[in-house]
Structure 1
Amino acid sequence: MVGAFSFNTSQRIVFEAGSASKIDHHAAFCLGPRPFLVTDPGIVSLGLQQSCETALSDAGHSVGRFSEVVADPPRELVDRAIGQAVAHKASSIIGIGGGSSLDVAKLVALVARSGENLDDAWGINNALGPRLPLVLIPTTAGTGSEVTPISIITVDEEEKRGVVSPLLLPDLAILDPLLTLGLPAHVTAATGIDAMVHAIEAYASKSANNNPVSRTLAVEALRLLGANIETAVFSPQDEDARGAMLLGSMLAGMAFANSPVAAVHALAYPIGGTFHVPHGLSNALVLPHVLRFNNAFAADTYAEIAPAAFPDLANISNLQLRAETFTQRLAELSEKLGLQTRLRDVGIAEADISKMASDSMKQTRLLVNNPREMSEEDAYEIYRAAL
C-alpha cells in the first residue's frame, strides 16, 4: 500500500527549441511592466540572454538586469541583486543561466517582494513570502533548479546554506535546448553527472516523502541521461541529445525536489565550498565511493534503477553484483567523459580530509535521507577512498 506523500513542482513548464525568444508570449500572464533578469557574466558574454531581453523590450517592457552571479554565490552578492531589483521596482524576476543564477533569482524574487530577513528563512519551510512572479530558464542540463523549491548559497565563505520552500517554485519554467548548444564539453559532462546523481539519490532516498511519482520520474530521467550524455558531450551541436539531457535534468529535479538527495550531496558541498570545485564535478568525485558505502544497505534499490542508465546491466541477475557493476560503470562514465576522477586532481590533499569530513556533518538535512547512516569517521574514509 502506498503511504501518504505530497508532490510539488513548477506551475507551468514549456519545452521548445527557441522558446526563450518567445518569453513575452509564454510568460505574459506574470511578467508585469518591469521584469528583472538575474544571470551571470558568461551568459551575457555569449549573448544567451539577448533573445529574452529583445522579446521583452519589443513587447514594451522596461527590463532590468543583474549579471554578476558567480558559482557558489555568496550572501553579499544575493543582497546586491535584491537591492538592484528593488531599485528597478521589479514586477517579476527572470532567472537565466546555470543553477547558481536560478538559485539567486529565487531569493531575489522572495526578498524583493516580502522584505523578509534572509537569515530567518534558512532551512525548510521558514520562508514567509509572498514573492514576485518568477520565471526560470536553465542554460545547463544538470541542477534541475527550475523545478525545485531549493536555493543554495554560500555563507561565511565556505558553508553551503539553503532555503527550502514551495514558495521558491517558479510560475513558469522555460526549457529551450538551443540555449545549451554552446555548453563546453566539461560543463556538459559535469552537469549531466549531477543530474544523474539527483535521480539516483531521489530514488534511493530514505525520506518519508519518497514516493511513486518521484521514483517514476527518477527512472525516466536516468534513461534519458544515460542514453544521451555521451552524445551531448562529444557531439555538442546535436539538438536532440541536448533536448533529452535538458528534459532528463528537469525530471530528475522534480524527483529530488520531493524525495530529497542525501550523502553524495552532503560530501560534495565541502568540496565546492572550500575548494570552489563546480557542483556537478564535486558530486561526480564522491558518487561511486558513497554508493559503495551504501551498497551494504541499498544494493537492491540501486540494482532496480541500474538498467535505466545502462540497459545491458539488466542481464546481471544477481542484484548485489548488478549494484556493484552500476557503481563501477558510473565511475568509468566520468572518466570516459573527461572529468577528473580523484580529489587530488582538483587540488585536495590528505591533510584537507579531516575538515571536509567535519564540514559534511553540518549537512544534516541531507544526511538524514541517506540509505545508510553515516558518521564523520565514515565520511573521512569515503574522502580517503576518493583521494
Structure 2
Amino acid sequence: MMPFSFDTTRSIRFGSGLLDRLDAFAAPLLGARIVIVTDPGMLATDMPGRAERALRKAGAEVHLFHEVTADPSESVVLAARDRMLEVSATGVLGLGGGSSLDVAKLAAALAQSGADLRKSYGIGQLPAGRLPLVVVPTTAGTGSEVTPIAIVTTGENEKSGVVSPVLLPDLAILDPETTRGLPAHVTAATGVDAMVHAIEAYCSKSANNNPVSRALACEALRLMGGALERAVTTPDDMSARSDMLLGSLLAGQAFANSPVAAVHALAYPIGGRFKVPHGLSNALVLPHVLRFNIETAPGGYEEIAPILFPDLGGVGNCAAAFCDSLAALAGRCGLPARLRDVGIGREALADMASDAMNQTRLLVNNPREVTRADALRIYEAAW
C-alpha cells in the first residue's frame, strides 16, 4: 500500500432538528460575536432566523451577511470578510448551499490571517489562521462542509480554487430537515454533483487516491443510488433526504483527499461563461467525459457501476453501460441533457475548451490525459 494522507472536518453532527440547537453545539465554539453567512434566497425561508434565535439564546451577538451569490465573485468574498472585521467577529456560521459555505470558509480565513485573496489561489497558498467556523449545508451536493476547498469566480468567466487545510471547518452540522424545501431541479442537480464527486474520487489518478476515499466513495454511491430519484419525486421523503445528505458528505470527504478531475474541469467553463448551476454543469458533461475515459481506463468505472446501478452487476461492457445509465438517471430526474438545452451555442465550444485547459489542478487527476482537442470533442458530443 502506498503512503497517503486523509484530512477532514474535525467534528460532524448529523440529525433532524439540529438547526434549532445551535446554542448547544455551535455557540460555544463561535464566541460572543457571530456572523452568519448566507444568500438572499435563504432569507425567504425561516432558517436564518432559526439559526439566529438559537445563537442568541446562548447570549451571542449575531450579525447577518446575506449577499452571497451563485458562483461567488472575489468582491463577495471580500465583502463578507469586511463584515467580519467591521463587527470584530469571534466566529462564523456558514448556512446554505456550496456557495455560502465556500464564502464563509474563505472569508473566515482572510479575516483572521489578513491574507491577500489574489495570492491565495492554488494549493497550499493560504497562510495559517482562521476564525472559528461552523457550517450547516442546506443542499445535498457540494460536500463543502468537509472539504479544504473554496471556489471563486475570477474575472468574467474563470473559476479558481483556494485549497488549504485551513479551510476545513471546526464543525459541520447536518440536519436533513434543512433540505426538505429544495425544489426538484435543485435536488437533482446537486445530487448528481455529489455522485460526480464520488465517481471522480474513486477513479482519480491522484497520487493520494487512497483506500479511505475509495471506501467512502462506494458508500456514498450506495446511499445516493437508492435515494436520488425518491428525493426528487417525493420531496418529503426524509429517509431519502437523509441518505442524500450523508452521501454528499461522504463523497465530499472522498474527493477532498482524492481530488476530482476532468468532469469538473469541463464543467467550470459552463458555469463561468453561462451561469449554469455547478451541479447541472457537471451533469451535462459527465457521461461524455466518462465515455472518453473508459477508452483507456475502464477498470474503476466497472468496479463502481454495480454499486450505483445494481442491475449492471455481471453485465458485459459494464463501463459503457454505466455511462448510459448515468445519462438516463439525469433524464429521469428532469435535468437537461445537452449543452444547447441550456442556451449554449455551438460557436462557444472552442473558447470553452480553451478555458477548460486552464484547470490544470483538476486535469492532472483524470485517468486519461485531456488535450484541448479532446475537450472540444467532448463538448461537441455534449452539445
What residue in structure 1 maps to residue 127 of structure 2?
A: 128
Give the whole-Å Cα distance in 2 for the aligned partners of 1:259 and 1:335.
Answer: 28
Asked if 1:371 is matched to 2:367, the reply is: yes
Q: What is the SS of the residue equivalent to 2:172?
A: strand
Q: Which residue type is aligned with residue 3 of structure 1?
A: M
Q: Distance in 2 between matches of 1:29 and 1:21?
A: 15
1:339 is aligned to 2:332: no
**Secondary structure at the counterpart of residue 10 of structure 1:** coil
Q: CA deviation digits over 1:303-339, x for unaligned, max 9?
A: 10011111111131x3xx1110010000001111000
| Counterpart position of 2:203 | 204
Counterparts of 1:129 and 1:49 in 2: how far apart (Å)? 29
| Aligned counterpart in structure 2 of residue 353 of structure 1, from 335, 338, 349 | 349
Aligned to 1:147: 146
The Cα offsets for residues 230-258 of structure 1, whole Å up to 9 and x where unpaired, read as 00000001111101000000000000000
> Does 1:182 pair with 2:178?
no
In 2: Cα distance, 1:14 partner to 1:229 partner: 22
Partner of 1:329: 325
In the TM superposition, what are the counterparts of 1:18-29 in structure 2 within 5 Å?
18-29=17-28
The Cα of 1:121 is off from its aligned counterpart by 1.0
SS in structure 2 of the partner of residue 46 of structure 1? coil
C-alpha contact (below 8 Å) 1:56/1:63 kept by paired residues: yes
Name the CA distance, whole Å, in 1 between partners of 2:302 and 2:378: 21
User: What are the superposed Cα offsets for residues 167-186 of structure 1, whole Å, 9 maximum, x if unpaired?
Assistant: 00000000000000000000
One-letter amino acid of the structure 2 residue matched with residue 21 of structure 1: D
Q: 1:61 and 1:252 mapped to 2: Cα distance?
A: 33
Q: Which residue of 1 aligns with 2:313?
A: 314
For 2:232 and 2:27, the matched residues in 1 are separated by 35
Once residues 31 and 74 of structure 1 are traced to their aligned partners in structure 2, the CA distance between those partners, rounded to angstroms, is 26
The residue that corresponds to 1:41 in the other structure is 40
Counterpart residue number, 1:260? 259
Q: Which residue of 2 aligns with 1:278?
A: 277
Aligned residue identity for 2:255: F
The DSSP-based 3-state class of the residue aligned with 1:289 is helix
- Offset at 1:297? 2.1
Aligned to 1:232: 231
Deviation at 1:98, TM superposition (A): 0.3
Number of residues of Structure 1 aligned to a counterpart in Structure 2 = 383
1:32 aligns with 2:28: no
Opposite residue 236 of structure 1, the aligned amino acid is P
Deviations along 1:217-276, one digit per CA (max 9) or x if unpaired, are 000000011100000000001111101000000000000000000000000000000000
In the alignment, which residue of structure 2 is the partner of 1:223? 222
- Partners of 1:177 and 1:203 in 2: CA distance: 26
Q: Which amino acid aligns with 2:234?
A: S
Percentage identity across paired residues of the two chains: 60
Given that 2:27 and 2:60 are in contact with CA atoms closer than 8 Å, whether structure 1 keeps it comes out as: no
TM-score normalised by L of structure 2: 0.99
* Counterpart AA for 2:80: A
Q: 2:128 is matched by which residue type in structure 1?
A: G
Scaled by the length of structure 1, the TM-score of the pair is 0.98
- For 2:64 and 2:113, locate their aligned partners in 1 and report how far apart those are by CA, in whole Å: 20
1:372 alignment partner, SS class: coil
1:100-155 Cα offsets, whole Å, 9 max, x none, are 00000011110111111111111001100200001011000000000000000101
Q: Is 1:202–1:215's contact at 8 Å kept on the other side of the alignment? A: yes
- State the AA in 2 paired with 1:72: D
Letter in 2 for 1:206: K
Using the alignment, how far apart are the partners of 2:117 and 2:344 within structure 1? 32
RMSD value, Cα? 0.7
**Paired letter, 2:273:** T
Q: Distance in 2 between matches of 1:21 and 1:167?
A: 27
Contact preservation (8 Å) 2:27, 2:55: no
Cα contact 1:93–1:108 (8 A) shared by 2: no
Question: 1:281 offset after TM fit, Å?
Answer: 0.1
For structure 1, which runs of at least 5 residues remain unmatched after alignment?
A: none
8 A contact 1:148–1:168 mirrored in 2: yes
For the 8 Å contact 1:74–1:157, the answer to whether it is kept is no
Give, as a single letter, the amino acid of the residue that structure 2 aligns with 1:378: D
Residue type matched to 1:112 in 2?
A
Output the CA distance in 2 between the equivalents of 1:385 and 1:295.
15
The amino acid that maps onto 1:134 is L
Give per-residue Cα distances to partners, 1:329-384, cap 9 Å, x unaligned: 00001111000010000111110000000000000000000000000000000000
Whether contact under 8 Å (1:70, 1:100) holds in the other structure is: yes
Q: In structure 1, how many angstroms separate the alpha carbons of the residues matched to 2:71 and 2:38?
A: 13
Matched, 1:99 2:93: no
- Displaced runs of 4 or more, over 2 A: none
Partner Cα distance (1:84, 1:157) in 2: 24
Q: Please name the residue that 1:295 is paired with.
A: 294
3-state SS of 1:298 partner: coil
Amino acid at match of 1:371: P
Helix, strand or coil at the partner of 2:193: helix
| Unaligned residue ranges in structure 2 (runs of 5+) | none
